[in-house]
Structures are given as structure tokens and as C-alpha cells.
Structure 1
Amino acid sequence: MTTTEHATAAGSGASATETFRSKARGEGHVDHARVAAVATDALTALHDVIRKHDLTYDEYDALKAWVIRVGEDGEWPLFLDVFVEHVVEEVNSAHRRGATGTIEGPYYVPGAPESTGETTLAMRPDEAGTPFLFQGTVSDLDGNPLADACVDIWHADDAGYYSQFAPGIPEWNLRGRVHTASDGTYRIHTVRPAPYQIPNDGATGALIDAAGWHSWRPAHIHVKVSAPGKELITSQLYFDGGQYVDDDIAQAVKPELMLYPEPATSGEGEQVTYDFALDPA
């Protein structure tokens, strides 16, 4: 199995931008007082940074050119999801008592194929990677299992690419919506994902390079878990001891989100059990 063409920042950015535009989130009534308060504080903070570092006009012009390039590359969703979303998620999840969440990231696509109970994610016949069984139970905060809860799962392949955001990969590869069985359990057969590098040939990569940072994210599995009457939880699950877990460029790793794989009881690959307790809506 190969990805016949390399994913580019422009291609990935365009896909992420189009996906974001299809969302309804953020539309509707605008609270002008909150817009004014947030915008004023943001601009004041930026003014303070300019004064603190004695920004030159050359640096200011470079900033303007970079901002324009972010838009031209379609990378605002990528940039904001990498550098800003983790704080937005932290603020919005502070009330939760159940499962721990983290950022969604730019690569979610709604409408993945659905199944119930035990399933194997769509993948190529020669899909590379270690076979991986991801299983567990979805419950309420009292531990009562939730039948027909939905585990919406997606992740990168063994080369670090996402379907619909890199060429040469089938549309729904390693994506699915799995509904729990009557006892609240799910069993999802897939392959272990690889770490991946934020596309670095665009504006976001230019900033990362200029700052001397690395552009890697640790291997992770994305999930959105939901059930009627419960709050949707969006999360990413990481592998204990995995590369970049301690210095994730997106700062999205939390101790509660760590997976501890063991050899699969089937004798093939690995398996892990991870349970989700959902807060009431």
C-alpha cells in the first residue's frame, strides 16, 4: 500500500477549509458586547507584545505577508486548530465530570459509514500497520451502560495520512461511526496510526521553521462519543511512551487520554480497552 502522491499544505489546507465551511457551528446571533470585549482584549494583548519586543517595521511587514499567505494557503483552520483550539477546548470542558476531551483538529469529516457492536473500519486490502483492537464501554456518570451510543472514530494511517486530506486514499479509509451494543460495548478493529508531521510547505510550516519548533504530532486516535440526552465528547487518545507525546506541537495531550496497548488475545497485533463516561446534556 502506498500513497501515490505526497500530501501538501495547500491541498490539506483547502480540504480543511472546505470542511470547516460546511459546519453550522458559530452561525446565528452575534453578541456584540462579547465580540467587543474579546476583540479589545486580543488587540490589547497584541499591542503589548509589540511594545515588549520593540517590533520593527520589517518584522511588521513580514507578519502582514505571513497573515496573507495563511489565507492564500487555506491554512487558517490548520493554524488555529494547532495553536489555539486546545485552550478553547479547556475552557469549554471545565465543567465535565466524565470522559476527558481534547481538540477536534482539522481532519474530521461527518457522515462516515455506520455499524453496531463489533466492526472493522474500512481499509485497503493491503493496509499497512499493526492490527489494533480498540474496545470499551460507553456509560453514564453512574456507570450504567449506554446502548446505541455512537463512537465516531477516525485516525491517520501507518504513513501518517488521513483519508480525504491526502491523495490516493479511499474516501472513508480508517473512518467509521460505531454504535454500542445493548450492553454499551464497542469493539473496533483497525490499525495502529503513526505520528504525523503538520504540513510544513505552507504558512503554518513557515512559522514553525522560523521559530525553530518541530512540526510533529504524536500518534493518536480521534473520537466523538455521543448518546441521546448526553453531552458529546470530542477527544484524542495517545499511546503511552509514543514519540512526541511529551512535546506535541498542538499541546493537546493529557494524562487521562493515554492508551496502554497489550498483545491482542487473538495473537495478532495489539488491543486496548478504553471506557467513556458521558455527562448529562
Structure 2
Amino acid sequence: MTEDIVVSVDWLADHLDEVRVVDVRDAWEFDGIGHVPGAVNVPFDRFRRGEGDEGMLPGAERWTALMEEAGIETDDTVVAYDDEHGVFAARFLVTALLYGHENLHLLNGDFSAWSREHETATEAPSVEPSTYAVREPAASPLVDFGTVRAALDSDAVIVDTREEWEYEEGHLPGAVQLDWRELVDAETRGLKPDAELESILGERGITPDRRIVLYCNTARRISHTYVALRHLGYDDVDFYEGSLTEWRERGGPLAGSEVE
């Protein structure tokens, strides 16, 4: 098995019988459009907390129930995919990581890349419910409001992964703007080549020797950037789960046109 958090469609095809594949698209897409053979469906909205609290984790009890219903065990090697360049699948993987799951991978290029080269299925697999145990992760990238507030006065690189117009309206003081989609290749639908990624990141000062703090609105977009940085070997990456939803609620300082 590979240690890279990002895997190709060919790698998945070669290891399909050795991993658990999770499709996080809506059920109608999973059933109607087709899916990777053997994949189980865990739609994105099922592992997000309810309306008004979209940026928060689902809770250990709910996560355990989802995994057991999907037949996933704690030590399974999991490969997740969507059809949105990996941003929803990445959120699934980061959620799993924060609940102590270790063997996690993102399918590079999403379902479209798979369906161009490999067979798909329309019938859902027969799943035997599993026993799943949430664990404390060996190391967690999660940081809270206070930690991020303190980071504003440090040499950390604060990274806003939203679109430019969102950034211009309001962002954390000193943050650099990096739309997560800048790391995606429009043709392959996966990550751009490593050298290109490193160039894009380097231009923003987002380098492996720096402490990186990621935020967006509700922690979905930073999930993709977090996976991309892990793929490139970045070790010091903080994940602000509360992101701007919590930051605004707690009166954190902002810069931008809407606060000038």
C-alpha cells in the first residue's frame, strides 16, 4: 500500500479488492450515474452537523453509526471520491482523520477520471454492518479560535482558501488568498503536477518550512488544501475547523472592504 494520501485511478484499480471505497456524492448520483465497483455511499450531508452549524464535525456517535452502517472498520484502508475535484471527499477524509482513522486516501481526479478509464457499477454492494471504534488521532491538525488569534502575531502563514471576491470582502488580517481550485487541473480534475503546485504555493509564501494555518467558511475547502499539502509532504499544517463561521461569531478581527 502507498503512504501517499492521494492515489491515482490506476492505483485504485490495482488495489480495489484491498481497500474500502467511499463515494460521498448524493444517492441519486451513486445509483443513477454509477459508481466505482464495490463502493459504498456516504453522502456529504450525512457527515456534516445540521443547518446553522455546517462547519462542525458530526460528533463521534453519529460518525460511528455512519461507518458501521457502511461496513467500514477502524483499520480499513479507505479511498474516498466525489465528482467535484475531490473537495467533498477530502472533507470526508479529514473528518475520518480527526476521529482517529489512519489509512486514508483521496482518489485523484474524482469519479469522472475513474469513469473515463474503468468500468462503473449501478447496483449497490451488499454490506455487512461493522463494528467501528473512534480513536484519538496520534496527531491532530485541529486548532481553535485562540490558537488562530495568537497565530496572527506570529510568523505563521495564514491561508484563506476561498475565492478572491470573498477574501476581498473580509479576511483574517495578514492572510494570503489561495483559492483551493488553483491547485486543481481542469482537464484531469485532479491535482496539478507537484512542481506546478509547489510553484503556486511558493509564490504565496506557503512553503514546507513555514507553519501553515488554513481556514475558509465552514472547513470544506480547506480540507482539499490540507490533503494537497499532506500529499506534498508539508508537516506543520493547522486546520481551523471553526473557520470564518466561528471567527465572526466570536468577534475575531477582520480586514477587507466590508469592514473598512
Higher strand share: 1
- Do Structure 1 and Structure 2 share a fold, with TM-score over 0.5? no
TM-score, normalized by length of structure 1? 0.21
TM-score, normalized by length of structure 2? 0.23
Higher relative contact order (CA 8 A, sep 6+): 1
Higher helix share: 2
Structure showing greater Rg: 1
